[in-house]
């Protein structure tokens, strides 16, 4: 599982369902489900005679004008709808059977680098193809069963997001910690089945970079279903000792940019897109120019931290052109140490508070991984009265990684704290 997920995705805290079936959370008044007699709290275990593992199964087996469902209490109901009418129900969870978890032992796994004492959901390492399709979570393919592959292809669950890291067996064994895994075989089965794949390579210095990266890109370029390849630097916290460095050094970061450039040019010539995209950290650490928006071809790996700086810079320029970029200058802008120089350059008249991530340490520098504790410490050291924190530091429940709310941060610092959207619009 990648640690570079997007705010707004569900934060799951369970790996197995206590009861199987789809729990109905809501029913639209007068809708097809209500007309059939379904009510919130009902548990649908079959649709059209087929057991349901998740909401995707429901969509597949309930694709017609009518569907007969069986409930956990033994009742059967027939739902009927008009052409174009939705079924008029929502489920409490899209996964009825719990989450497929990760069985790998990746030496760079960010979840394994977390300290003790955090909320349980943060330690759950999902490796579930359904969350890959629904939310863009990266999966390793090592736990896919034959029936999973058949289902993915049959139900056209495409695109999927795959963490591959390397195509060399010995390198994969070191990185993934799974001997004789079938991920590459599964990869080919999916591509041959018409599934499009967005690939992630977490780059570890001296392990899968350099010529190893070349071999991986060569292998991937031979497969038509590979839509994009995102290369991101390994994240390391102070709670591990296996990885001593990443690509914070300008020379190391520049070497990755130079390695990718010929591939980007060749693939742009062949397919019209750069195809292999580098995380923003490489350009920022190398003090190199971030590519233009055209380079990112629709930003296929935006949520993986690829192209965010370019999108922000262009959005800010657009806001300036429309006279909408009037930052509330008395309010200091809180951000991570990675993005702080960019924000200072774009908004030279504003106060920018760069928060060092003392909680995780290592090379963790993005705003989305800041804790309330570190923000409080930085504000108290900086002084002032009004601050704006980006919404990316909060989860869907409105709390930071260490379970603090903006109100708690305000009380601890005795300052005014506003939450703003992590975009140019949020600053305007």
Fold of 22-91: Pdz3 Domain (2.30.42)
The CATH architecture of the domain made up of 111-306 is Alpha-Beta Horseshoe (3.80)
pLDDT, one tens digit for every residue, the chain (428 residues)? 334 433 333 444 445 555 689 999 999 999 999 999 999 999 999 999 999 999 999 999 999 999 999 999 999 999 999 999 999 999 999 999 999 999 898 888 888 888 888 888 888 899 999 999 999 999 999 999 999 999 999 999 999 999 999 999 999 999 998 877 899 999 999 999 999 999 999 999 999 999 999 999 999 999 999 999 999 999 999 998 888 889 999 999 999 999 999 999 999 999 999 999 999 999 999 999 999 999 999 999 999 999 999 999 999 888 887 765 555 556 899 999 999 999 999 988 889 999 999 999 999 999 999 999 999 999 999 988 899 999 999 999 999 999 999 999 999 999 999 999 988 877 76
What's the pLDDT at 1? 38
DSSP 8-state symbol, 396 = T
Among residues 40, 47, 46, 45, which one has the least CA distance to residue 17? 45
Burial of 11 (0-12, 13-18, 19+ CB in 10 A): middle
- Is the distance from CB of 393 to CB of 367 less than 8 angstroms? yes
Query: Span 316-427: which CATH code?
Result: 3.40.50
What's the pLDDT at 377? 97
What's the pLDDT at 19? 61
User: Domain map of the chain by residue range?
Assistant: 22-91, 111-306, 316-427
What's the pLDDT at 180? 75
Neighbours of 73 (CB within 10 A): 8
What's the pLDDT at 4? 43
Alpha carbons 256 and 206: distance in angstroms, whole number: 12
Beta bridge partners of 233: 203
CA distances, 128 to each of 134, 157, 388 (Å): 10, 12, 35
Strand pairing category for 226-233 and 276-278 = parallel
Q: Which string of DSSP letters, residue by residue, matches 329-363?
A: TTSEEEEETTTHHHHHHH-TTS-EEEEP-TTT-TT
Is the pTM higher than 0.95? no
Dihedral, CA of residue 77, residue 82, residue 86 and residue 92, to nearest 10: -10
Could you tell me the strand order of the sheet in which 332-336 lies?
352-355, 332-336, 386-390, 416-420
- Is the distance from CB of 363 to CB of 110 less than 8 angstroms? no
What's the pLDDT at 117? 86
Q: Do domains 22-91 and 111-306 have the same CATH topology?
A: no
Spatial neighbors of 127 by CB under 8 A, at least 6 apart, are 1, 100, 101, 102, 103, 104, 139, 140, 142, 143
What's the pLDDT at 106? 87
Determine what percent of the chain falls in helix, strand and coil, rounding each to the nearest 5.
35, 15, 50
């Amino acid at each position: 599982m990648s640690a570079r997920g997007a705010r707004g995705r569900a934060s799951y805290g369970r790996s197995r369902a206590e009861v199987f079936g789809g729990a109905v959370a809501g029913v639209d008044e007068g809708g097809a489900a209500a007309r059939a007699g379904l009510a919130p709290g009902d548990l649908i275990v079959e649709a059209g005679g087929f057991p349901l593992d998740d909401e995707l199964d429901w969509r597949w087996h309930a694709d017609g004008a009518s569907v007969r469902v069986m409930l956990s209490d033994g009742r059967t109901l027939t739902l009927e709808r008009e052409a174009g009418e939705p079924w008029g129900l929502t489920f409490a969870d899209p996964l009825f059977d719990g989450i497929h978890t990760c069985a790998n032992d990746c030496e760079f796994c960010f979840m394994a680098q977390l300290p003790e004492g955090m909320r349980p959901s943060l330690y759950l390492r999902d490796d579930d193809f359904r969350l890959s399709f629904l939310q863009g979570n990266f999966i390793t393919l090592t736990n896919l069963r034959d029936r999973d592959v058949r289902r993915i292809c049959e139900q056209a669950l495409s695109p999927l997001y795959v963490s591959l890291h390397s195509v060399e067996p010995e390198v994969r064994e070191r990185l993934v910690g799974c001997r004789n895994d079938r991920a590459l075989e599964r990869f080919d089965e999916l591509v041959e089945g018409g599934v499009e794949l967005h690939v992630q390579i977490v780059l570890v210095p001296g392990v899968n970079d350099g010529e190893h990266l070349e071999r991986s890109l060569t292998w991937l370029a031979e497969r038509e279903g590979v839509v994009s390849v995102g290369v991101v630097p390994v994240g390391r916290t102070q709670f591990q000792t296996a990885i001593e460095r990443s690509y914070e050094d300008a020379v190391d970061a520049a070497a990755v940019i130079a390695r990718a450039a010929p591939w980007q040019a060749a693939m742009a010539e062949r397919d019209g897109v750069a195809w292999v995209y580098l995380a923003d950290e490489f350009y920022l650490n190398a003090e190199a120019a971030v590519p233009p928006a055209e380079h990112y071809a629709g930003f296929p790996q935006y949520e993986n931290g690829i192209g965010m700086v370019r999108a922000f810079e262009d959005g800010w320029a657009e806001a300036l052109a429309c006279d909408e970029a009037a930052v509330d200058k008395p309010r200091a802008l809180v951000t991570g140490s990675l993005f702080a120089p960019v924000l200072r350059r774009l908004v030279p008249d504003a106060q920018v508070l760069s928060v060092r991530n003392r909680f995780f340490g290592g090379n963790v520098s993005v705003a989305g991984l800041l804790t309330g504790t570190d923000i409080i410490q930085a504000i108290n050291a900086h002084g002032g009265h009004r601050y704006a924190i980006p919404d990316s530091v909060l989860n869907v429940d409105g709390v930071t990684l260490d379970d603090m709310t903006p109100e708690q941060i305000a009380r601890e610092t005795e300052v005014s704290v506003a939450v703003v959207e992590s975009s140019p619009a949020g600053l305007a």
